Amino acid sequence: MQLARRLQLDNLFNNVRGDLFGGLTAAIVALPLALAFGVSSGAGATAGLYGAVFTGFFAALFGGTPSQVTGPTGPMTVVMATVFTKLIAANPESGLAMAFTAVMLSGLFQILFGVLRLGQFITLMPYTVISGFMSGIGAIIIALQIAPLVGQPASDGVVAALQQLPEALANPKPVATGLGLLTLVIVFGWRGKLGRIVPSPLVALIVCTSLAVLVFPNSDIPRIEEIPSGFPTLQWPQLGLSQIEDIVGYGLMLSILGAIDSLLTSLVADNITHTRHDSEQELIGQGIGNLMSGLFGGLPGAGATMRTVINVQAGGRSPLSGMFHALVLLCIVLWAGGVTAQIPHAVLAGILIKVGIKIIDWGFLWRVAQVSMRAALVTYGVLFLTVFVDLITAVVAGAFVANMLTIHRLSSIQSEQVRAITHPDEDANVILTPAEQQLLRLAGDRILLIQMSGPMSFGAARTIAHYMSKRYDALILDFSQVPLLGVTASLNIDSEIRAAQRHHQGKVFIVGSEGQVKERLRRFKLQAVLPEQNFVPTCHQALQNALRLLEIELPAEILGSAGERVSPQLSLDRH
């Protein structure tokens, strides 16, 4: 990680022209989105711009994805809107400071994730959960922005927005509605070469704001408040004892969501630039960016896919592009705050509605039911919980159900890899050499051979215990095809072996236990229960030893080499 970071900094000034142009282009795209996300969060446009400045600069400087551009995103903004609403409602005087404390905590959590090298695990979230959650976020954004699009005030939550929607649509403000609809036309219709040169959100922002200023200067449409010039004041951390659980919970939620969003964007950047990012360093950079953003009253940020792609397409390759993008936005905050004050809310609502539509995973939502009904239930369930219940509840419940379904499926697969054999002809999937098959026939159902293949975890434990409860005079456990033995499976096997050894003195054999399996059985101290000669390398030898203890005579022609293992069906086909 240190070597990759050193190489990244060494190459910082190798592409100055491309990085400056890429950063400028990314800043042009980020400006309307930062303003819109700030207004949508309830903290104001200033918080959106400060969030883009601080997360954009520090995540680029300390992060592990050279071309990534960081700033406020739709999912992070929706969570922050909930944080602001709940904490300010419970603590009118200190709720705002508590909300920014949650942002700082999210940064500290992300730094901890990076130090503990958890980046490789964070993106293992099931796609059904990610798709449902992101689609739910998109639906929330659309629902909350319909009222501002027609000139009415925004609601605090989705349910309230849907309840007020009929009244808002019945009483639109003509000027605001016209500007909002024109914004939608521009953001969806501005394409082709011009769209690649000048992004549609910026065109909509300039055109519609100019119309509002020049044609409707005296209209009473809601507009952004004037952004104060100068550097922001520090927001010192504040933890109220009654709200500490909520603050820490929201901080953890923001950190995980931001980590997933950022690392997925890093993968996109890797595919475009043919490079490889450093996940752990990226989490540290994102954490530092969010810590600084919260400290200065900015929204939390994450790697922004659209801004990152635009940065790369415009020539950005090193962290300099992300840092320059943040400096351009800082100049706007310091010297152009009066201009942004004239931007109508309806214009920002139109821009955000497009963002919401783009976030919804339309393709997967249409196809998931055709792939798997279980996957569809998880996806649509997470979407519903995200929109109508709570973001944290949606992710936790979705991840739990998705993982339980996966564990159940893996357990079924593992159980299918456990076979209890007393006669070689009773199971076509049995893998035995011809000599081993003949030895097993001689036992006349008195030997129980349990063959296992693949990793054996707690999913197979019940099946193993069930098979070992059958009647037998000698027991053989074949571990030769098992690379991994879980604790629960080991515990069940240990208990059954000890019980079998008590009832069948010396007639329990362990075959082929090597590596992790051998070490796991050793830690359960099976050597103290079974004689050393009962641990044998091959099933052929275990069968011979078991037959001798059962006082069954062995024909001379099957003694010696075990031969090559084949299934009974393959053995018959060869003759």
- Of 276-290, 393-407, 435-449, which has the strongest mean pLDDT? 276-290
Comparison of pLDDT for 547 and 198, the residue scoring more = 547
Which among 136, 146, 435, 104 is positioned nearest to 290, based on CA atoms? 104
Comparison of pLDDT for 570 and 35, the residue scoring more = 35
The confidence score (pLDDT) of residue 56 equals 96
Looking at residues 463-487, what average pLDDT do you find?
83
The confidence score (pLDDT) of residue 17 equals 80
The confidence score (pLDDT) of residue 496 equals 78
- Of 67-71, 161-165, 272-276, 395-399, which has the strongest mean pLDDT? 67-71
pLDDT band at 147 (very low <50, low <70, confident <90, very high): very high
- Of 188-192, 292-296, 475-479, 551-555, which has the strongest mean pLDDT? 292-296
pLDDT higher than 90, residue 469: no
Looking at residues 33-39, what average pLDDT do you find?
88
Q: What is the C-alpha separation between 78 and 359, in angstroms, rounded?
A: 12
The confidence score (pLDDT) of residue 426 equals 65
Q: What is the pLDDT of residues 322-366, one digit of tens each?
A: 999 999 999 888 877 677 778 888 998 898 898 889 888 899 999
Contact by Cβ (8 Å): 382, 136 = yes
Q: What is the C-alpha separation between 229 and 575, in angstroms, rounded?
A: 91
Looking at residues 196-203, what average pLDDT do you find?
78
Looking at residues 314-319, what average pLDDT do you find?
85
Mean confidence (pLDDT) of the chain? 83
Burial 224-248 (b: 16+ CB within 10 A, else e): beebeeeebeebebbebeebeebbe
pLDDT band at 487 (very low <50, low <70, confident <90, very high): confident
Looking at residues 422-435, what average pLDDT do you find?
72
Pairing of strands 508-511, 535-536: parallel
Comparison of pLDDT for 555 and 115, the residue scoring more = 115
Looking at residues 278-299, what average pLDDT do you find?
95
pLDDT higher than 80, residue 198: no
Give all domains of the chain, ordered by start, each with its CATH number. Answer: 2-362 (no CATH), 418-573 (3.30.750.24)
The confidence score (pLDDT) of residue 567 equals 41
The confidence score (pLDDT) of residue 571 equals 37
pLDDT higher than 80, residue 123: no
Distances from the Cα of 71 to the Cαs of 27, 38, 333, 393, in angstroms? 10, 11, 15, 25
pLDDT band at 574 (very low <50, low <70, confident <90, very high): very low
The confidence score (pLDDT) of residue 63 equals 93
The confidence score (pLDDT) of residue 561 equals 52
The confidence score (pLDDT) of residue 399 equals 85
pLDDT band at 239 (very low <50, low <70, confident <90, very high): confident
In terms of C-beta distances under 8 Å and separation of at least 24 residues, what long-range contacts does 500-505 make, across chains too? Answer: 500/468, 500/475, 501/529, 501/530, 504/472, 504/473, 504/474, 504/475
Residues whose CB falls within 8 Å of the CB of residue 91, separated by 6 or more in sequence, listed in order = 98, 240, 243
The confidence score (pLDDT) of residue 325 equals 93
pLDDT band at 573 (very low <50, low <70, confident <90, very high): very low
pLDDT higher than 70, residue 6: no
Comparison of pLDDT for 103 and 540, the residue scoring more = 103
Looking at residues 393-413, what average pLDDT do you find?
84
Pairing of strands 418-421, 447-453: antiparallel
- Of 34-48, 50-64, 304-318, which has the strongest mean pLDDT? 50-64
Q: What is the pLDDT of residues 164-185, one digit of tens each?
A: 899 999 989 999 999 999 999 9
Comparison of pLDDT for 289 and 456, the residue scoring more = 289
Share of the chain above pLDDT 90, in %: 24
Q: What is the pLDDT of residues 503-530, one digit of tens each?
A: 766 688 888 878 888 888 778 777 777 7
Comparison of pLDDT for 47 and 467, the residue scoring more = 47
Q: What is the C-alpha separation between 554 and 568, in angstroms, rounded?
A: 21
